[in-house]
Structure 1
Amino acid sequence: MALSLIQWGLLSAIGLLLLHRLRHLFVRGPFHNIPGPASASLLSGNLKQIFDSNGWDFHRSLLEQYGSVAKVAGFLGEERLFISDPLALYHIVIKELPQWDEPRFFYRLNYLLFGDGVLAAEGEEHRKQRKMLNPVFSAKHLRDMVPIFLDVSYELRSVITNKIKDGATEIDMLDWMTRTALELIGRAGLGYSFNVMQDGSIDEYGSSIKSLFPILSDYMVFGDALPPLMKIGSPSFRRAAVETLPSKGIQQIKEKIDIMEKTSKQIYQEKLTALQRGDDELAKQVGGGKDIMSLLLKENLTASEKDRLPVSQVLGQMTSLIFAAMDTTSSALSKILYLLATHPEVQDKLRHEVREAHAAGEFTYDTLDKIPYLEAICRETLRLHPPVTMQNRRATHDTVLPLSMPIRGQDGTLVTEIPVPKGSKVIASILSLNRNKALWGADAYEWKPERWLAPLPAEITDSKIPGVYSNIMTFWGGPRGCIGFKFSLLEMKTVLSVLVETFKFELTEDIAWDMSIIVVPRPASAPADGKSPYLPMKITLVG
């Protein structure tokens, strides 16, 4: 009887959600005058095209056929805006932030996955957590993390060197970039080693983190059902309901979350104990007390009562930071290695520049910050190939979005602003903004690091692009922009400098890239499903 009641409750919630959505089939939508592609499906609209692993051409067609704003269809005919207009995004991300929020399921999902951290926090709670986290990402602390980054990078160099000497003709660099990114955030973020820098070696915590996203991607389509489902009964009732679901994937997700929670508590307690024993004891820990969690614990213990974070929120930062940093960084690093392999002249020039910088002494924060071609390569790759291609937002109030790039409406009039009713959903296209020819010029789709070695055109600098980094939206912007983007850039520069100085990278076969939740590579001959990411490369030592 208990199982039956649980199942009926779940079905009823889903049924109510569907009835709510059906209204879009009978009422003229708020964006009827905005042009866009025909709906591809009565049930899913254009969403399968937008979220398709191989949806690059569709995204490009939205930008080139309809401009900075297009109307797309969501579930059961619901109208959404697909936006890359800089001024509209400035209003969404900064000027009218309180009127624009993440989708309702976003906070619920992040809470279930990562706990009570910054990714699950809203409003004033989010501001409080960011305030506590901001100091630990300062340039002062980042300088102290370079030795940690170098240790991991040199371990990676040693692993690859041994593979080459053992006769390896092909190495999966996505796997090693993922391992490296995980170990970097482990040591520099948590003061914890996942033991992943050897073949086959990875602990239970690291394994859970690496495998969670591929499993989770199958269930993202049901995200909108989370808010009503999480109102049913108590947390213990909902956990019991999850445990009854006959889904192998759901059970795997639950098991991995349990492992992450258990290990996070263990790491927290060890850090707290070391901190209480003094700096000498903390210095013996992985990361030497320079890691983000050690710094956060120190900040938190000395904070005023009103600013101090409870234990649940400190724990929540741990998995939040790992997931925010791991796959995005490994994706960006993999893309750069791929591009260097396909542009050998760029690779040679970068190697020369890195070696010149290293000849003056060991890599430091200042050294890495003053290698102009390395900076240009990172900026151009993150512009043209953002690891996360889009963000979702919803209007919490009736509002109006102004456009800096007006479009022609269905009725032929020039549309300079769009009234947006409360509850409307928007897909903000990072990819389209970063590639818009009206901003970046006719060569916007070309990878040209040199564009960053000269002043940017006025179309870019005057456009009010609200990104936190370099006139692009790759790290998003505003108060919910990526808090660790400088940390990530420093990781990338350190790893690339060590690798390019020592190795030559070449492709062994054609590579395609899947959008997925985070962009990943695969052999072009493999299925475009985002489930088997792989980047085979030929690597040789260079004199």
Structure 2
Amino acid sequence: MWPIVILLSLLGLTIFTWKRILRPFVFPTIWENLPGPAPSSFLSGSLGDLLSPRGWKWHQDIADIYGSVVKIKGLFGANYLYVSDPKALHHILVKDQHFYEETVAVIEGNKMLLGEGIFTSVGERHRLQRKALTPIFTIAHMRQILPIFYEVTYKLRDTFVQKVHKGERDIDILEWMTRMALELIGQSGLGYSFDDLSENASMHPYALASKKLIPLASQALVLRNIIMPIVTIGTPRFRKFIVDYLLLPFPLVKELKEIVDVLYGTSVGIYETKKKLLAEGDEAVSSQIGRGKDIISILMKANMVATDAERLSEEEIVTQTTSLTFAATDTTSSALCRTLHLLALNKDAQGKVRQELREARQQNGGDDLDYDMLVSLPYLDAICRETLRLHPPVSFMERVVQEDIILPFATPVKGVDGEDIAELPMPKGTHVFISIIGCNRNPEFWGPDVLEWKPERWLNPLPDSVVNARIPGIYSHLLTFLGGGKSCIGFKFSQLEMKIVLAILLETFEFSPTDKEIVWQMNAIASPALDWYSTHGSLPMKIKLAPCVA
């Protein structure tokens, strides 16, 4: 037995040494001519830098030094591609999207966290799930749920008024934005209330679990990339052994499992309640929170009349509940926190948007703005666009090549030997990191002030350099919400949430920074904290009633 194990180990080591160390020198390919940073680790290459919660400088440095197409080293010296070139992105996200799928580690890791939902399905199942959800995210539906957004946001405003009516107070904005974002998707997405947003109310277990999930999951990214491919092989008994004996002993994994149990259990409870109400008829559905216009109620109704080929399983609907709730909560709260933080640091911009909001309400007779009025406010829109350009909640995405394919570039890359590289052969299995921030912050498109937060850049026609770049994003020449078949299905929903929350809060309150230093961790979703490695996010800010409101 042992001689065979030793022989196989030596064989594996020989193959690895040849493929990773000797062959590139003996038979160099165009990949060896592609520039990129030296790896910081033989085992994990540059992944530790790329996935670090304080990785902002590393990401900016490789963009500044190497440009829009960069070779980085992955596990055991494997060649990975880090790309923000718009033509390459068009091929990856749109033209050849089926050749670039999410990695096994990402898919299986997300399945463990979220279940078999839209963020973990591929191929035909993803298409069917997206088709079922798309009608719910139309502008027509956004108009219908607008009153729900206002109602929830006013609850938070009233709570803040109670907290600051006697004077300025320090408030943890992240906690309240998380609670409110969850309640917004709860009522409009699930027809379910998680939180009455009162000061003395305890955070729902789902909110507590959701708040901890991203920081913890981000700490496990390298472990995920190594372990997840193993979990998908062998018999169910072998996979269970891997999970129970190799993963669960890690305290981090054990805590993640407890979080997942809370998320899934809540989703099952919501689904079963919906199922019962649908069986009772339209009157019962209309009497619930969300008045039957919530995403899951509409999805379940449509699913009842769908063909057998396009019908989603109960498990898929349950996991849509988890997936959509989780995605809408953390990305929205991150974007809102970042916007309020920037406005606290830029009081002129805060005053200007407050004035715009108050004048718009006056012109509307003191009533809430309808959908068309809200989305047409130029400075509020500029603030949202500029924040999502410079600080997208998600900084990069990962794909893996499914079949050998050629990837062309809009701008040729200068090779190590000085020769131009206009395209790159992508062998099956190659990992590709799509740099969202690299694309959004490209100075060739946006100019030398690209790293400055300047809402005013959106008040005039965009430069030809931006328009002609043909960035394949679905939103405003940006990659923030991606593009193609895996683009963010709820980006209009997210935009509406942001604008209503900002409109109501900025009309009423003035936001200022505290004396505490805030860092923004580069997690899977950017998160504010008081130190780089905290798993408990926080964004303390000073809040008081804005002038002319008291």
1:255 equivalent to 2:251? Answer no
- Unmatched runs of 5 consecutive residues or more in structure 2: 1-8
Match of 1:540, as an amino acid? Answer: K
Match of 1:346, as an amino acid? Answer: A
User: How far is 1:263 from its partner?
Assistant: 2.2
8 A Cα contact 2:514 2:540, kept in partner? yes
8 A Cα contact 2:159 2:197, kept in partner? yes
8 A Cα contact 2:233 2:239, kept in partner? no
1:367 equivalent to 2:373? Answer yes
Q: Specify the alignment match of 1:450 in structure 2.
A: 456
CA distance in 1, matches of 2:477, 2:16: 37
Q: Specify the alignment match of 1:318 in structure 2.
A: 321
Q: Specify the alignment match of 2:543 in structure 1.
A: 539
1:428 equivalent to 2:437? Answer no
CA distance in 2, matches of 1:18, 1:150: 62
The alpha-carbon distance between structure 1 residues 20 and 201, as it changes in their structure 2 partners (threshold 3 A), is farther
8 A Cα contact 1:196 1:203, kept in partner? no
Q: TM-score, normalised by structure 2?
A: 0.91
1:304 equivalent to 2:300? Answer no
Match of 2:231, as an amino acid? Answer: L
Q: In structure 2, which of residues 481, 493, 496 is the aligned counterpart of residue 487 of structure 1?
A: 493
1:228 equivalent to 2:230? Answer yes
The alpha-carbon distance between structure 1 residues 529 and 25, as it changes in their structure 2 partners (threshold 3 A), is farther
Any idea what the Cα deviations from partners look like across 1:206-265, whole Å, max 9, x if unmatched? 32222222222222212232132232332x764565345323332222222223222212
CA distance in 1, matches of 2:435, 2:177: 26
Q: Specify the alignment match of 1:511 in structure 2.
A: 518
Q: TM-score, normalised by structure 1?
A: 0.93
Q: Specify the alignment match of 1:378 in structure 2.
A: 384
The alpha-carbon distance between structure 1 residues 325 and 104, as it changes in their structure 2 partners (threshold 3 A), is same
Match of 2:519, as an amino acid? Answer: A
Q: How does 1:381-392 map to 2 (within 5 A)?
A: 381-392=387-398
The alpha-carbon distance between structure 1 residues 528 and 196, as it changes in their structure 2 partners (threshold 3 A), is farther
User: How far is 1:196 from its partner?
Assistant: 6.0
Any idea what the Cα deviations from partners look like across 1:361-391, whole Å, max 9, x if unmatched? 3222222111111111101100000111001
User: How far is 1:139 from its partner?
Assistant: 1.1
Q: In structure 2, which of residues 529, 533, 537 is the aligned counterpart of residue 529 of structure 1?
A: 533
Q: How does 1:226-305 map to 2 (within 5 A)?
A: 226-234=228-236, 238-239=239-240, 242-244=243-245, 245-305=248-308
Match of 1:65, as an amino acid? Answer: I
1:97 equivalent to 2:97? Answer yes
Q: Specify the alignment match of 1:352 in structure 2.
A: 355
8 A Cα contact 2:155 2:196, kept in partner? no
Residues matched between the structures, number: 526
Match of 1:144, as an amino acid? Answer: Q
The alpha-carbon distance between structure 1 residues 18 and 515, as it changes in their structure 2 partners (threshold 3 A), is farther
Q: Specify the alignment match of 2:66 in structure 1.
A: 66
CA distance in 2, matches of 1:364, 1:16: 68
The alpha-carbon distance between structure 1 residues 396 and 513, as it changes in their structure 2 partners (threshold 3 A), is same
Any idea what the Cα deviations from partners look like across 1:390-438, whole Å, max 9, x if unmatched? 0111111111111112221011111111121111111111001100000
The alpha-carbon distance between structure 1 residues 462 and 21, as it changes in their structure 2 partners (threshold 3 A), is farther
8 A Cα contact 2:215 2:535, kept in partner? yes
User: How far is 1:74 from its partner?
Assistant: 1.1
User: How far is 1:353 from its partner?
Assistant: 0.8
8 A Cα contact 2:510 2:543, kept in partner? yes
Higher mean C-alpha deviation, range 299-308 or range 178-187: 299-308
Match of 2:543, as an amino acid? Answer: I
CA distance in 2, matches of 1:16, 1:190: 54
Q: Specify the alignment match of 2:471 in structure 1.
A: 465
8 A Cα contact 1:90 1:465, kept in partner? yes
User: How far is 1:325 from its partner?
Assistant: 1.2
The alpha-carbon distance between structure 1 residues 419 and 114, as it changes in their structure 2 partners (threshold 3 A), is same
Q: Specify the alignment match of 1:157 in structure 2.
A: 157
Q: Specify the alignment match of 2:3 in structure 1.
A: none
Q: Specify the alignment match of 2:20 in structure 1.
A: 24
- Unmatched runs of 5 consecutive residues or more in structure 1: 1-13
User: How far is 1:75 from its partner?
Assistant: 1.6
Q: Please give the secondary structure, in 2, of the residue aligned with 1:299.
A: helix
CA distance in 2, matches of 1:53, 1:35: 25
Q: Please give the secondary structure, in 1, of the residue aligned with 2:23.
A: coil
Q: Please give the secondary structure, in 2, of the residue aligned with 1:419.
A: strand
Any idea what the Cα deviations from partners look like across 1:149-203, whole Å, max 9, x if unmatched? 1111111111111111365621111111111111111111111111262345122
CA distance in 2, matches of 1:155, 1:15: 66
Q: Specify the alignment match of 1:5 in structure 2.
A: none
Match of 1:305, as an amino acid? Answer: D
Match of 1:82, as an amino acid? Answer: Y
Q: Please give the secondary structure, in 1, of the residue aligned with 2:434.
A: strand
Higher mean C-alpha deviation, range 92-101 or range 452-461: 452-461
The alpha-carbon distance between structure 1 residues 313 and 387, as it changes in their structure 2 partners (threshold 3 A), is same
CA distance in 2, matches of 1:58, 1:266: 43
What is the CA RMSD across the aligned residues, in angstroms? 2.1
The alpha-carbon distance between structure 1 residues 223 and 25, as it changes in their structure 2 partners (threshold 3 A), is farther
Match of 1:401, as an amino acid? Answer: L
Task: Give percent identity, aligned residues only.
Answer: 44
1:113 equivalent to 2:113? Answer yes
Q: Please give the secondary structure, in 2, of the residue aligned with 1:491.
A: helix
CA distance in 2, matches of 1:15, 1:223: 26
8 A Cα contact 1:21 1:78, kept in partner? no
8 A Cα contact 1:342 1:507, kept in partner? yes
Higher mean C-alpha deviation, range 159-168 or range 434-443: 159-168
User: How far is 1:474 from its partner?
Assistant: 0.6
Q: Please give the secondary structure, in 2, of the residue aligned with 1:428.
A: strand
CA distance in 1, matches of 2:12, 2:297: 44
The alpha-carbon distance between structure 1 residues 167 and 131, as it changes in their structure 2 partners (threshold 3 A), is same
User: How far is 1:19 from its partner?
Assistant: 9.1
8 A Cα contact 1:516 1:530, kept in partner? no
8 A Cα contact 2:47 2:222, kept in partner? no
